[in-house]
Amino acid sequence: MHGQEGRDAEAVRVLLSEIAPPSSRVTVAGLLAEGRRARRRRRSAAAVTGVLVLSFAAVGGVSAFDRSSDDGGGQVLSSGAAGTADPSTPCTVTELELPAKATTGEVNAGSPSGRFLAGFSSVGNALATPVRWDGTRAEPIKVNGPAEAKDVNDSGVTVGSGQGANGRSVAWAFVDGTVITLPIPKGYTGAEANAINAHGDVAGVLFAGDRMAAAVWRGTSANARVDILPAASGATAFGISDSGVVVGSLDDGKDSFAHLWNAQGQGSRLTAPAGFGGSGLLGVRGEWAYGVLSRPDERSGSVPSSTTQRAGDATSPSPELPTAVNPNVSVVWDLRNGQASIVSDGAVKAVNPGGETVVNHEDRTASLRSPDGALRKLPSLPDQDNAHATALSDAGTQAAGTSGQKPVRWQCMKGGK
C-alpha cells in the first residue's frame, strides 16, 4: 500500500482501536484493537475514505505446553460474582506529569518494578505523542508522525508503534534517549512493536497488505535480527516473557485462537473451553497470561450453567457466563497447569507473576484483583468519576492507568501495611 491508500489503511486501524469486536467472536481486528488500547486518536480516523483493512511484559519462566491435543487436564474456573474489596488494604492515586502543552494522556503499560510507564499524550485533538514516565516525571519521545509507546522494561527501554511518512505502520524503540526504527524483513511493509522483555527482545506484528505474522526482534538496534514465528496462518504477538515465551493469537480464517510459542519458537494452541468460541492472548508475566474468550453463539440456544469444566472436554457443562453485552469475556491462564479462570467482573488489562490482575468494570471503575477474585478499588482523581487501569507491578503494590483524561499511578498497600 502506498500514498493515500496506506494512510487510509492506517486510519482504519486507528479507528478499529476504538471499536469493540462484533458478534460473539474473537477477531484479528478486535485483538489488534485490544492490544493497541488507544482510544482518542480520532483525527486520523476522520480521514478514512472507505478502505477497510483488517489488521489486529513479562518476567520469569513460563512452562509452555501443547493444548492442541487437549487431554482434559486443564480446569476452567468461573469467578462468578465480583470479589469483595478489602478496606484494610487501600490504594491511593497520584496524577502523573504531562509533557509541556499536553492536555491529556494515557498509560498503556508499565515495567515490572513499576518505576517506568509507557503511553502517550495529546494537545487538544492533536495526534498522539509517545511518552515514557520515570516515576511521575514525563519524557516525550520524539517520533515522526502520530505514535504511542506500548511497553517498557526495567532498564527504561521503551517500544511502540506509529505511522510513517508513507502511511505504513512503523515499529520503534527508545534507547538511551534515541529513537530507533526496528527493521522490517523483506516481503513485509509495516510493523508494530507490542512488548519488550528484560533482555531487550521485542514481540510484535509484521504486515504485508492484509497478511500478518507474529515476530520477535532480537534486540533494539536498527539491524536487529527479526525472527518470524512459525504459523500456519495469520498470527499476532502481544507479549513476551524473560524466558522467551511469546503469546498472541492464530487466525484460521474464521476465528482467532490463543497461541503461544516457546523459547525455541515452537508454537502451541491453547484450546478454548467447551462452550466458548475463539480466544486470544494479550499479555504474559511470569507463569500467568491473560486474554479474551468469545461467548457462545447466541443462536445456538445453549445456556451454560455450571462453574467448572475440563478444558477441551465437550461432554462437561460450560461455566456460567456474565450477562454483559460485551461479546468477549476476559480470562487468565495459569500456564503451569492449563487452568483458566474466567474473569466475569470486568476486563483484564495486566497480570503479574502472582496472578494478580488489574480489572476495568462496566461502571467505569477499576480494581486490583487477587487470583481468588477479591477486589481492591483503584480510586479516581478527586475531580473525576472514572478510572481505567492498564499496568501492574510484579509486587502488586503499584498500578497505573487513566482517570478522566489524565495519566495516573496507584500505590496499594499489602496486608494492611
227-246, pLDDT tens digit by residue?
Answer: 999 998 899 999 999 999 99
Residue 129 above 50 pLDDT? yes
pLDDT at 136: 92
On the question of pLDDT at 312 being above 50, the answer is no
- What domains are there in the chain, each with its CATH number? 3-412 (2.130.10.10)
Residue-averaged pLDDT of the chain? 77
pLDDT at residue 57 tops 90 = no
Range with the lowest mean pLDDT among 131-135, 287-291, 311-315? 311-315
Residue 12 in this model has a pLDDT that exceeds 60: no
Across 47-63, average pLDDT: 27
| pLDDT exceeds 90 at position 225 | yes
CA distance 89 to 367: 12
d(CA 38, CA 19): 11
- Cell, residue 219: 534486540
Residue 87: which residues within 8 A CB-CB, separation 6 or more?
Answer: none
pLDDT in tens, 347-377: 999 999 999 999 999 999 999 999 989 999 9
CA-nearest of 285, 281, 204 to 243 is: 285
- Residues in CB range of 375: below 8 A, 6 or more apart: 82, 83, 84, 85, 345, 359, 367, 368, 369
User: What residue type is assigned to position 176 of the chain?
Assistant: D
Supply the pLDDT for residue 172. Answer: 98
Q: Which residue has better confidence, 271 or 368? A: 368
